Homo-oligomer: A and B are copies of this chain.
């Protein structure tokens, strides 16, 4: 079965590779003794980029997997909703 995010997979991969490059850039900054505040600014930026990607994946997950399970109803529907909510809780660090 194709997952909810299959349609926009290339877009997600592109953003994740950019985030990977950003983290590598942060390591290079530390390597080259960049000013601490500038390093923190980059950490804030990549964190935001990663969470934005997560939010997009979540949207597709809800509109496909959760919605499908919800349409069928039953315990699987509840489970899918609980699982998605728990994932949001982890992103919010609750």
**Chain A residues in contact with chain B, CB under 8 A?**
2-6, 9, 12-13, 16-17, 19-20, 23-24, 26-27, 30-31, 33-37, 39-41, 43-44, 46-48, 50-55, 57-63, 65-68, 70-71, 73, 77-78, 81-85, 87-94
Contacts and interface: CB of A to CB of B under 8 A. Distances in A.
Contacts of A3: 33-36
Count the copies: 4
A35 B31 CA distance: 35
A91 B43 contact: yes
14 contacts: A4-B36, A5-B30, A9-B31, A12-B30, A13-B30, A23-B23, A37-B61, A37-B87, A47-B50, A51-B94, A63-B78, A66-B67, A88-B91, A93-B94
